[in-house]
Amino acid sequence: MDYEGKPALRLMDAISKEALAALSTILQVVRRGRISEVEFQTLYDLTVRQNILREELYTQVFEEIARYRPVGNALWYYTLILDMAYDYYRIARYCWEIGRVMKVFGRVEVGGDVEKMISEMLNELSDFTRKVLSGRLELIDANKLLELEERSDERYLTTLKELAEKDRFTKNDVINVLVLRHVERMLDHMEYLARKIKTF
């Protein structure tokens, strides 16, 4: 399938770079345990730009569909691009939500396994993006994305159950469950994309 040179792909590339930049920023923030005003504003600005880019992408995709009249896999690919634009926006938005939690609470300690999940998500999303935008969908290991989502879901549920057994919560208990919830939701969006790839 030849998708190179189409404006829709250039827009999707820009959207994906914003999402990956948001994930990279929040990973550094979580490692350091605090967020600066500059980082917080950067995360917010990324979500604003993604909204603008998504609108441009939708217009461009519909124009390309009208012009090229794609069918079969080519038409399916366009629907994948539209799904990606929304899911990447949500991922960037959840990064900003994590930043907001950290801004409110100040210095925080997030579990090393949570940091590892965000790092793995960044790596997997980068790889997924490269393969989709180059049209090499057959090389995507959707199962790896699904396994990562399953682990985050289990970690979140375990944390909730542990909290349910406590009479008092520490500040860090609250921070960790909020951060975990946002990480789990980000990985839900990766799960949606992985399941769509399985239909290819």
Place of tokens 């993604």: 50
Query: What is residue 88's predicted lDDT score, i.e. its pLDDT?
Result: 98
Instruction: Please indicate, yes or no, if residue 96 is contained in any of the structural domains.
Output: yes
Percent of the chain with pLDDT over 70: 98
Place of tokens 């990447």: 88
In this predicted structure, which of 31-40, 140-149, 167-176 has the lowest mean pLDDT? 167-176
Query: What is residue 111's predicted lDDT score, i.e. its pLDDT?
Result: 80
Under DSSP, the state recorded for 139 is: G
Percent of the chain with pLDDT over 90: 87
Which range of residues forms the domain containing residue 121? 7-197
Query: What is residue 154's predicted lDDT score, i.e. its pLDDT?
Result: 95
CA distances from 144 to 26, 113, 187 (A): 22, 17, 12
Average pLDDT over residues 3-15: 83
Q: CATH code at 155?
A: 1.20.58.220
Instruction: Please indicate, yes or no, if residue 158 is contained in any of the structural domains.
Output: yes
DSSP string, 16-41: HHHHHHHHHHHHHHHHHT---HHHHH
Instruction: Please indicate, yes or no, if residue 46 is contained in any of the structural domains.
Output: yes
Query: What is residue 61's predicted lDDT score, i.e. its pLDDT?
Result: 95
Over the chain, what is the mean pLDDT? 93
Instruction: Please indicate, yes or no, if residue 25 is contained in any of the structural domains.
Output: yes
Summarize pLDDT for 151-188 with one digit per residue, the tens: 999 999 999 999 999 999 998 899 989 999 999 999 99
pLDDT higher than threshold 70 for residue 14: yes
CA distance 172 to 106: 11
Summarize pLDDT for 18-33 with one digit per residue, the tens: 999 999 999 999 999 9
Count, residues in the chain:
200
Of 199, 4, 198, 196, which is closest to residue 86 (Cα–Cα)?
196
Instruction: Please indicate, yes or no, if residue 30 is contained in any of the structural domains.
Output: yes
pLDDT higher than threshold 50 for residue 1: no
Average pLDDT over residues 121-142: 95
pLDDT higher than threshold 80 for residue 57: yes
Summarize pLDDT for 61-88 with one digit per residue, the tens: 999 999 999 999 999 999 999 999 999 9
CA 63-68-72 angle, 5° bins: 110
Average pLDDT over residues 119-143: 95
Domain total in the chain: 1
CA distance 163 to 195: 31
Instruction: Please indicate, yes or no, if residue 1 is contained in any of the structural domains.
Output: no
End-to-end CA distance of the chain: 13
Average pLDDT over residues 46-65: 95
Instruction: Please indicate, yes or no, if residue 2 is contained in any of the structural domains.
Output: no
